[in-house]
Amino acid sequence: MHAHLGDRLIVESPSTGLVRRDGEIVGLHHEDGTPPYDVRWSDTGDVTLVFPGPDAHIRHGRPGPAQEPPAETGGPTAVQPGDVGRRLAAARRRRGLGVDEAARRARMSPQYLDYLETHASDPSVGTLLRLADALGTTLVELQGGDQERPPGQGQALYHPVLRDLGEQECRSLLSTHGVGRVSLTTPHGPAVFPVNYEVADETIAFRTAPDAAPAAAVGNQVAFEVDHVDDAMSQGWSVLAVGRADAVTDPGAVRRLENRAHTAPWAGGRRTLWVSITVDRLTGRRITSADAV
């Protein structure tokens, strides 16, 4: 029997063949993948040391280190961590702990903690509670349940670097689409409104209702901003575009915008007015770690 991290151990009834228990292999004790294994059981979330018997077999879930298929560049296939893993790694680094020490405090194998940090995973609540206690944080923070709070309440990086972005990088970030903020002057003073937007050629376009507040942008100079804040990593970027907003009246242009729209307006309702912003000035900034520069 040979296994890799992420494989599943299946225990079946010898008489009926039905699965009695299954779990994820989260720790290896031999480099060749032979037993015993640290297994996180699906029914309890507990991690135990298991010596599989004749009623158990391995279901291979993902390639192990020796089986990683080569990427187009000739190197190993990159595995992307999930949100939980990135939060775990950030919390561990803030405490100044290595993987081995953090795993010891959380009463789990270092291989499992490394797996959680480097792969998209869904650990049990019990596992996250032990990790939260070991890392001096909370279950809510590790799960991302604090996302209702305004972003940016995490700790600043130890050695942050704020750099200006070039125009091409600004356009690339702007073209990821999503939700941006349009800033304009209203009869009641300056105002900022979140809108779903599209990038069409050299312009920014968003939909609104003719009688809605963002429609006041038409015929005026406005600012449009998009950003991304990564609280787990204490990093982020912002892009600011300034230009004139005009109503899109050509039926063909409206049809093209409707067809290429990446999402319907989150606010719902009938929003028939497309507003385009011709960009006169485009700037951006990024906060990152000095180690990443």
The pTM of the full predicted model, rounded to 2 decimals, is: 0.53
Q: What span, in angstroms and rounded, lies between the C-alpha atoms of 228 and 214?
A: 22
Please identify which residue in the block is written with the tokens 């972003």: 151
Architecture of domain 163-292: Roll (2.30)
Q: How far apart are CA 80 and CA 235, in angstroms?
A: 18
What the block records as the tokens of 106 is: 């959380």
Q: What is the pLDDT confidence band of residue 201, given thresholds at 50, 70 and 90?
A: confident
Q: In the chain, what are the domain boundaries?
A: 8-67, 83-148, 163-292
111 with 38: CB under 8 angstroms? yes
Q: Is the pLDDT of residue 254 over 80?
A: yes
Q: What is the spatial distance between Cα 276 and Cα 48, in angstroms, rounded to a whole number?
A: 59
pLDDT in tens, 78-108: 456 678 888 899 889 888 899 999 989 988 8
Quote the pLDDT of residue 147. Answer: 55
Whether residue 194 has pLDDT greater than 90: yes
Cα dist. 48→23, 27, 28, 67, 87 in Å? 10, 10, 12, 26, 24
* pLDDT value of residue 113: 87
CATH architecture for segment(s) 83-148 = Orthogonal Bundle (1.10)
pLDDT, tens digit, 9 for 90 and up, residues 20-78: 777 888 888 888 889 999 988 876 777 888 988 888 889 886 433 333 333 333 334 44
Given this model, what pLDDT does residue 47 score?
A: 85
